[in-house]
Amino acid sequence: AVWRSWFANDQERLRALLPDDTIAINNGEEAWQSRDEILAAAGKFAAAGSRLVRMEFPRVGVQVFGDVAVVYSQYLFEVETAGARQVSSGRATEVFVRRAGRWVNPGWHMDSGR
């Protein structure tokens, strides 16, 4: 839901899924992102007229420890901007925490898988 909400620039849904203390480490980016920076990046993606063409998770593993779940995945997504397509792939480790009865995603780490 977080991935799809980001690509759709669904700011309301992202605010519900990402708590204020979110920290994201994205593939190929030196700086870590806060929740506000993640929301801004989704807006910038949409403002550029970019769109998600496809998204796949060919391998996923999940570990649950009470109110914490860790999701490991291989990902691939393709986006289109101004008629040009770009494919990105790699690995992701995402943390989900159950807070006030619902699951939120306070952090992730993505890499190229190489």
pLDDT given for residue 46 in this prediction: 97
pLDDT given for residue 9 in this prediction: 98
Q: pLDDT below 70 — which residues of the chain?
A: none
Pairwise CA distance, residues 48 & 2, whole Å: 20
Q: How is residue 26 written in tokens?
A: 């994205």
Task: Report which residue type is found at 42.
Answer: A
pLDDT given for residue 102 in this prediction: 96
Q: Which pTM value belongs to this model?
A: 0.93
pLDDT given for residue 36 in this prediction: 98
β-strands 84-99, 68-81: how paired? antiparallel
